Amino acid sequence: QLLENQSLSQSSINCVLQDHDGFLWIGTFSGLIRYDGYKTTVFHSENLPGKIQSNKIITLYEDRDGYLWIGTHMGGLFRYDKQRNEFEHFSYKKDDPRSLSNNNVWAIEEDQHGNLWIGTETGLNILRKSKTGFDRISKANTPSLSYDFITDIHLSTANELWVSTEEGLNKLVVT
């Protein structure tokens, strides 16, 4: 058992992920923690380029290229490059329709093409491997989506994207 005195930024844990290198990543509302089996490294919010800029970690995901994706409360989405030890920030920008639709990111999933599906409080976002910017999916433009507050996403082996919302479970077919 890891305790606060073992460098946990707090004992209340929101999410956990073990990456392909064996590191355990722990998301809390007091920062992101990496545990190597012996010691912890805590990543706290710093308002500097290349640093994580939110301590409120909601969800974690490792993509097929080994990048760690971090969804936060009110801070948007971050991509952590372990080789360069840098965070890239993606956030909602009012005047940019290709930006993330909301800065509260609850779920992240990758499809068979390497595209990332991001669930927020105002719908789904797709970050396509071959493009820059996000495509936004909402109840208004996708009838099979029952509600815009996305709480979780799962891609089945049949390439069906299961999307849970605050008002039910939805199935989208990914082609």
3-state secondary structure of 51: coil
Query: Residues 46-52: contacts with CB within 8 Å, 24+ apart?
Result: 50/86, 50/87, 50/88, 51/86, 51/87, 52/78, 52/80, 52/87
CA gap 136, 68 in Å, rounded:
22
Look-up of token digits 């891609």: 155
Instruction: Beginning with the edge strand found earlier in the chain, give each strand of the sheet holding 57-62 in spatial order.
Output: 57-62, 68-72, 77-81, 86-90
Reported as a pLDDT band with limits 50, 70 and 90, residue 91 is very high
CA gap 49, 65 in Å, rounded:
22
pLDDT, residue 79, reads 97
Calculate the average pLDDT of the chain: 92
pLDDT, residue 24, reads 96
pLDDT, residue 155, reads 93
3-state secondary structure of 131: coil
Read off the pLDDT of residues 25-34 as tens digits, 9 standing for 90 and up: 999 999 999 9
Read off the pLDDT of residues 36-90 as tens digits, 9 standing for 90 and up: 988 889 999 988 888 999 999 999 999 999 999 999 999 999 999 999 999 999 9
Checking if the pLDDT of 4 tops 60, the result is no
Read off the pLDDT of residues 118-168 as tens digits, 9 standing for 90 and up: 999 999 999 998 888 999 999 998 888 999 999 999 999 988 999 999 999
